[in-house]
Structure formats: structure tokens, C-alpha cells
Amino acid sequence: MESTATSGDPPPIFPAWVAVLAAAVVAVTAIAELLPPEPKAFLGVGGVAVGFLVAGVTFIRRAQTVPGPERRAWTTVGAGFVVGVLGTFVIAGMLLVRGSAPAYGAADLFFIVGYFVALAGFASLPHTSGSRWHRWRVLLDALVGAVSVGILAWVFVFEPLAPRIAAAPLWERIVATLFPFLDVAVLVAFMTVLVRRSSYRFDPRIGLFGVGLLFQTAGDVLYLISGLGREFGEANPNNVLYGLAAACFLGTAAMVDRLPAEREYAERKTPLWAMVLPYGTAILMSLVLVFHLVSAPLSANQRLLIGGALVVVMLVVARQGLAIKENRVLLEEQRRVLVSSISHELRTPLTSLVGFLDILTRSGSFDPAEREELLEIVRDQATYMARIVADLVMLSRGDLGELELQISRVRVGELVEAALAASGIGRTSVDLDVPDELEAFVDRDRLEQAVVNLLTNAARYGGPRRLVRAYGAGGGELVVEVHDDGPGVPRRHELTIWERFERGPHRYDATIPGSGIGLAIVHAVAAAHGGTASYRRSELLGGACFSLRFPGRVARSAVAPDRKTA
């Protein structure tokens, strides 16, 4: 019977019967190792079979008390254990009836099917979904570990057994070599699930299951070494390792209904140990290679080349580690700058909105003209905030080079006038040089947004004078330019200003508003139209000149020259 806890005590991690049974399985298998071969085989196989059978049944029963995905996964794991135990019963039956059984034979079909079923169940445990690149990276990390383990297994296990493997029957060769690779596949699935269950805190069930897998893998490797080409009684399986594996799996099954606490937020960064662990086996493989090479007769030049190659490989690995760290720091810095810039830009108009609305609601002494003036200020500040939000919405779409365009025939002069009004810059401070008859086939909203961003930049960083020019060039090319008489862009920033979050010389100056995304959007709009965005010194006003060029967009007839989005 299970021990009962008092009402104020926390429930035990394992029921009493689980602890007793797990200890009994380990004790029986340990005692079996001290007996002669025949009773050792019966007692050892019996103890392991009981342990795995009870573990499988417990997995299935406890799984019925947990939510849907967890229930299906752990039930499948338990079913795999039960199927595998059937193979143990087949071996026991052959020993009773015939007095002998092959170390690898028909009974292994149950073990192989059980492996695949348990592997499918464990791999289906719910985990945090990642991006396509994250999944590929996890797969590559797993392959690094799997290939390294496979090569080490060949060097230390399969190569010494090569003569016996060649002399064994085909079926026995296939089955005997399949088990270690199945163990590696299960270990890879275990690592993948452990890394990607990042929405949970540490899950002791997964950890204990992994320890059981290690015992199981060690037992399979030793069994392969001793059993290939022999009878089961001669194979000398290490039942203690299998008993320890059964005890770990039984403990895991008893904890299936003890779901780990969820994190407040899913862990988005891959833990350092998860990135290093797959490469630990690769480093071990490299050390084995060095040992074999050093112990072989080599010339001084060959030793120098091998040593140099290993040093270069280690330097490359170290460099990649530093690059990962650098990228994380850079992303964190960009996030900090973005939050700081956006909060600074939104705080000013929000303060104005709250202040003017408070004045309007608390005072009724304004005449219509004054009220209209205050409402106009409120409208301008709201429009400014809406423009920031529009930029952020566009930025959040990920690849700015894949903007969808709605092409229509547009009067460029009207578009520039609308952009000037939306920018909030006084009309008297901007000169326009746009032919009335100039029309183009463009996305009106996108191009207007680009011109607004350029005008805002000119007002923010330039001098008091601005000029907007638009004209048709050769080949039906539309050119839109925004000039100012300010200091311009320093040469070292002329290329980087088009990148996201880049503010050039004002990167760390919080007194000058700006999010660093305006020019990135301008560049994206130009590229989406099949054009270019560029900077040069203004030959007209002496400051900055930002130029947009759209090839083949000037309208020469009622039919658009090209309605495809670039």
C-alpha cells in the first residue's frame, strides 16, 4: 500500500510502491550477476522484464491524468515499453522450451518496434515552436552530436568486432548494428525535446528519463560486444545496467502526472549548455583522432600540419562562439536603442495631447478660432504618432524587401503636397519644384510615406530651407529628391544610414528625436518599386540630398508601362 501523508505535508515525489519496486528490480539484477550462467539468465531477464513492464503500464495509466498532447505522448511511450517487453517474454519462452535462444533473433522485432514507438511518443512531447532557421540549427546541432557519437562507436565498438560482424548471418548483422544507432536516435530526440521545452522550468521527468537512456545505451553496447554471433546464455548481458534503466523509467512514469511549472515567459535564448553539449562529443572525437595520429609514425611536417589544422579548427570554433555572443549583444543594444527612441518620440506628442485636451475640457472660455487652433495642434500630434505606428507596423513585417504594392496612376505634385501636409512642416519653409503634368505609376501610400520620412528627416537634422524636386528622366524614370541646407551626413555614415535602427552621428543623442527606421523604410519602398534610394551632397542648397529613382514609372499614356510589383 502507498503511504499516506498528513494533510499539511506535501505529497511524496514517488509513491512508496514505486520506490520499493525500483529498488527490488536493481537488487534482483545485481544478485543475478553473482549466479551461474543459467539461473543468471532467468533471474536477470525476469527482473528487467518486470521493471520495464510495470514502467510501461504506469506510463499509460498516469498519462490519463494529464492534458491532451502530454497524454498522447506518454501513452505512446508506455506502449513502446510494453511492446519491447514482449520480446523479453519470447526469449524467456525459448529458454524454457529449447534451453537456449540466439542473442539476436526473431524476438528483436519486438524490441525494434518498441524502440520506434517509444521514440515517436517521446519526440511528440509538446515543446515551444521555433522559426524555420531555429529548427534547422537544432537539427544541425543534433547531427553534429550524432555523427561524432557514431564515429566514436565505430572506432571503439564496431571496428574491433568487424571480423565477427562479417562472419555473422545477415539478419544478425542488421539487428546487432541497429540497436546502438536506435539508442543514438533516442538520445538525439531526448536532447531536442529538452532544449525546446523552454516554456517550462526544469522538468525532472525528462532528466530522469535521460539518465535511463544512458544506462540503456551502455547496456546495449556491452551486449553487442559480448553477444554478437553467440547464444543468449553466452552473451553475458549486463542486467544491472538494464535494471538501473528500468528503475529510472519507472520513476519517470510515476512522475508523469507531476507537470513542471510553466515559465512566465518562454525562454527564447538557447541555453549555453545546449549549444556546447553536441560539440562535446565532437571535441572528444577530435581528441581520439589526435591520439591515433600521434601514436602513428609521422614525419615532423605531418605532425606540424595536423597540429596546425587542429589549432585552426579550435580558433574557428572559438571565433564562432564570440560571434554568437557579439550578435546577442548587438541585438540587445538595438532593442534598447529602439525602445529608448520610440519612447522618446511618443512621449512628447503624448504629453502635448494630454495637456491640450486637459485645457480644452477644463476651460470653456475659448472662442471658436482658439479652440480650432488647439484642435489643430492635437490633430497634428495624433497624426505624428500615427506615422510612427505606421513605420513600426511596416518594420514588424520582417523582410522589408517583400512589400506588397498597390500600383495606380498618380499625380506626383498632389502626392508631394499630401506628404508635405502629413509631415507637419510649414509650407513656407519648403519649396516645391514638381511639374503639374507629371504622373507616374506607383503605390501612392508607400511613396507618400517615403516622402514624409524624407521631409521629417530634413526638418529634424537639416537647416531652415528645404526643396522637393520631382521630374522625369530618360527611359521614363521618375526622380524624387529632397534637399536641405543643413550639415549633411558625415561620410562614414553615408552607407549605414539605410540600415534599421541606425541614426548616424545621433545614435546616442536622446535629445534629438528619431527611431532610426525612417530611412530603412524609404530604402524598402524604393526597392519594392524596382528603384533605388541614395544620398549625396546637395548641389542646390549645400546640405543633404536624398534621391529616389524609379525606372520606367513615368506615365506616358493611359496604360501603365509595368504593373508588376518589384
pLDDT at res. 327: 77
Q: Is residue 263 part of a domain?
A: no
What is the spatial distance between Cα 157 and Cα 170, in angstroms, rounded to a whole number?
19
Among 80-94, 192-206, 419-433, name the one with the lowest average pLDDT: 192-206
Region 326-339 average pLDDT:
73
Average pLDDT, the chain: 77
- The listed range with the strongest mean pLDDT (19-33, 94-108, 150-164, 409-423) is 409-423
Residue 512's pLDDT is what? 52
pLDDT at res. 566: 38
Q: 558 pLDDT exceeds 50?
A: no
Same domain, 451 and 375: no
Residue 42, pLDDT > 80, answer no
Predicted confidence at residue 334, as pLDDT, reads: 67
User: pLDDT higher for 67 or 276?
Assistant: 67
374 and 423 housed in the same domain = no
pLDDT of amino acid 528: 86
Reply yes or no on whether the pLDDT at 545 is more than 80.
yes
In a shared domain, residues 34 and 134: yes
Q: What angle (nearest 5°) sits at the alpha carbon of residue 61, between those of residues 56 and 65?
A: 135
Higher pLDDT, 129 or 202: 202
Report which of residues 232 and 241 the model is more confident about. 241
- The grid cell for 105 is 533473433
Q: For residues 74 and 203, which has the higher predicted lDDT (pLDDT)? A: 74
- The whole-number pLDDT of residue 511 equals 47
Confidence check: pLDDT of 347 > 80: no
The percentage of the chain sitting over the pLDDT mark of 70, rounded to a whole number, equals 77
- Same-domain check for residues 246 and 344: no
Of 223, 242, 257, the last residue of a domain is 257
- Indicate whether 150 pLDDT > 80: no
Q: Which of 186-190, 271-275, 355-359 has the lowest mean pLDDT?
A: 271-275
More confident residue, 396 or 412: 412
Are 535 and 419 within one domain?
A: yes
What's the pLDDT at 1? Answer: 38
Per-residue pLDDT band at 219 (split at 50, 70, 90): confident
- Region of poorest pLDDT, from 36-45, 141-150, 339-348, 369-378: 339-348
pLDDT at 508 over 70: no
Cα–Cα distance between 103 and 227 in angstroms, integer? 6
Exposed/middle/buried for residue 241 (C-beta within 10 Å: 0-12, 13-18, 19+): buried
Q: Are residues 198 and 140 in the same domain?
A: yes
Q: pLDDT-derived band of residue 48, with 50, 70 and 90 as boundaries?
A: confident
State the pLDDT at residue 291: 76
Instruction: Give pLDDT, residue 283.
Output: 74
**320 in any annotated domain:** no
Instruction: Pick the range with the lowest mean pLDDT from 227-241, 256-270, 371-385.
Output: 256-270
Q: Is residue 264 over pLDDT 60?
A: no
Percentage of the residues of the chain whose pLDDT score is greater than 90: 13
State pTM to two decimals.
0.53
Flag whether 93 is in a domain.
yes
Mean pLDDT of 154-166: 76
State which residues form the domain around 69.
16-257
- In a domain, residue 233? The reply is yes
User: Which range is least confidently modeled, 271-280, 455-464, 514-523?
Assistant: 271-280
Same domain, 418 and 434: yes
In a domain, 159, yes or no: yes
**168 and 80 within one domain:** yes
Cα–Cα distance for residue pair 105/227, rounded to 1 Å: 11
Query: What pLDDT score does 565 carry?
Result: 39
Q: Is the pLDDT of residue 480 over 90?
A: yes
Q: Are residues 365 and 406 in the same domain?
A: no
Q: Is residue 202 part of a domain?
A: yes
Q: Which of 350, 369, 396 is the last residue of a domain?
A: 396
Q: For residues 423-447, give the mean pLDDT.
A: 86
CATH number, domain at 366? Answer: 1.10.287.130
Numbers of helices and strands, H then E, in the chain = 16, 7
Mean pLDDT of 58-86: 90
Cell numbers describing residue 232: 543468449
Read off the CATH number of the domain in which 74 is found. Answer: 1.20.1070
The whole-number pLDDT of residue 560 equals: 40
Beta bridge partners of 122: none
Least confident interval from 191-205, 212-226, 466-480: 191-205
Q: Of the candidates 208, 228, 257, which is a domain's last residue?
A: 257
Provide the CA 412 distance to its chain's centre, in angstroms.
Answer: 44
Position 240 confidence tier, pLDDT thresholds 50, 70, 90: confident
**Beta strands 532-537; 544-550: pairing state:** antiparallel
Domain assignment present for 265: no
Q: Give residue 401's pLDDT.
A: 55
pLDDT score of 548 more than 90: yes
- Residues 452 and 365 both lie in one domain: no
The CATH code of the domain that includes 508 is 3.30.565.10
Q: What is the mean pLDDT of residues 310-315?
A: 75
Q: Which triple of cell numbers denotes residue 325?
A: 555572443
| Total number of domains in the chain | 3
Mean pLDDT of the region 262-275: 55
User: Is 407 found in the same domain as 388?
Assistant: no
What stretches of 303-443 adopt beta strand conformation (E)?
407-411, 430-433, 439-443
Is the pLDDT at 314 greater than 70, yes or no?
yes
Cβ–Cβ < 8 Å for 62, 83 = no
The three-state DSSP-derived secondary structure of 408-448 is EEEEHHHHHHHHHHHHCCCHHHEEEECCCCCEEEEEHHHHH
Q: Is residue 333 part of a domain?
A: no
Mean pLDDT for 188-199 is 65
Give whole-number Cα distances, 316 to 56, 171, 280, 289, 477, in Å: 46, 44, 15, 18, 48
The residue assigned the cell 595536423 is 306
Q: Cα-atom radius of gyration of the chain, to the nearest Å? A: 36
Looking at the fold, whether 22 and 170 belong to one and the same domain comes out as: yes
Q: Is a pLDDT exceeding 90 seen at residue 181?
A: no
Q: Tell me, what's the pLDDT at 562?
A: 44
